[in-house]
Each structure stands twice: as structure tokens, then as C-alpha cells.
Amino acid sequence: MAGRVKSKQNQISRLIPNVLHDKGWEKQLDLHSIFPRWKELVREEMNEYAQPLKIERGVLWLEVTNSSWLQQFQYEKLELLDTLNRSLRLSSLKDIKMVLPKGKTGKTKMSDQESEPSIKFVKPSEEKIAAFQRQVECVADEKCREALMQFWYLAQACKRKTE
């Protein structure tokens, strides 16, 4: 029985990279690996005053707390682009664009801003949850199944607030 479970786990571990490759998601995952590693990749003051927002068509968009820091980081943009591209394995960023937060004034640090979080949680419908559970029930390993479910749930529930 344990050998059979191990075999299914091996099949899944071989399947996931193939799906990523077939769907063309490898480069996107590589690019978006910048988000969880942001603190490790940039200097402390960059992390304190700028946060990555999104990546569109190879361009990283950063939200910078105020115009003074935006100007400072503009001077360092090429160095930052080089640093981030060296951290990527399969892809590269073409450019970095910087924006100020909408409606924010007079603050010097992102942590000081008195505002609602930029992400809101919207629970997926029970029907969507049940449908995805049916899709992943073929995964024999319970931990893998739960991890897939959590990943899917967060991807569905986390929505960026728009004005």
C-alpha cells in the first residue's frame, strides 16, 4: 500500500512541472517569485518604502510611499532591475514602473499609512469550492490535496481593492 501511495506521489510530482510547461506558466511563476522574496532581494529602505504591485508584460510595477522616495528609487532603477533579473532563472523583467498610492499624502512609510488593506477577501461560493474539491479528490496524498485546496482558495479569495 505504501509503495502505491509513493508511486502516485511520484506521478503527481512529475505531472505538475509538465502542466506548468504545457500551459506556459513556468516563466510567469519565475517572474512572480519576486513577490515572496522581495525582502531578500532589495535593500531594507527599498522594502520599507516600496512594494511590488504587479507584473504586466514583463514590467514590474512598484508602489512607492511618496514622491521623494519615488525620485530616489528612479535613480536606482537600473541597478534594481539588474538585481531582480539576476535572481530569476527562466525569465527577465524588461522595465520597472513606479507609482504613488492613490489618495495617500503626507506619509513617509507604508506601515504608517492609515488606510484599509489593499487586498480584500471574498469567499468563493460553496458551489465553486465543491467543484474544485471534486477536481482534486484524485490526489491520493492528503497533504498535497489540502495544499492545492488552500492555494486555490487563496487565489480565489484574495482580490485587490479597486477604486
For residue range 73-95, what is the model confidence (pLDDT) as tens digits?
999 999 999 999 999 888 899 99
User: Do 120 and 160 sit in the same domain of this protein?
Assistant: yes
User: Do 41 and 67 sit in the same domain of this protein?
Assistant: yes
CA-wise closest residue to 26 among 118, 99, 91: 91
Residue 20 has pLDDT above 80, yes or no: no
User: Do 91 and 159 sit in the same domain of this protein?
Assistant: no
Beta-bridge mates of residue 120: 159
Q: Among the three residues 104, 132, 149, which one is the final residue of a domain in this structure?
A: 104
Mean pLDDT, to the nearest integer, of 116-135?
A: 76
Number of structural domains found in the chain? 2
Mean pLDDT, to the nearest integer, of 94-111?
A: 70
Q: Is residue 149 part of a domain?
A: yes
pTM, rounded to two decimals: 0.54
Range of the domain at 133: 116-163
Q: Is residue 109 part of a domain?
A: no
Q: Is residue 111 part of a domain?
A: no
Q: Is 63 helix (H, G, I), strand (E, B) or coil?
A: strand
% residues pLDDT > 70 (the chain): 67
User: Do 100 and 134 sit in the same domain of this protein?
Assistant: no
Q: Is residue 132 part of a domain?
A: yes
User: 113 or 38: which carries more pLDDT confidence?
Assistant: 38
Q: Is residue 17 part of a domain?
A: yes
Q: Is 129 helix (H, G, I), strand (E, B) or coil?
A: helix
Instruction: Give the three cell numbers for residue 1.
Output: 500500500
Q: What is the CATH number of the domain that holds 44?
A: 3.30.300
Q: Is residue 133 part of a domain?
A: yes
Q: What DSSP line would sit under 6-38, residue for residue?
A: HHHHHHHHHHHHHHHHHHT-HHHHHHHTHHHHH
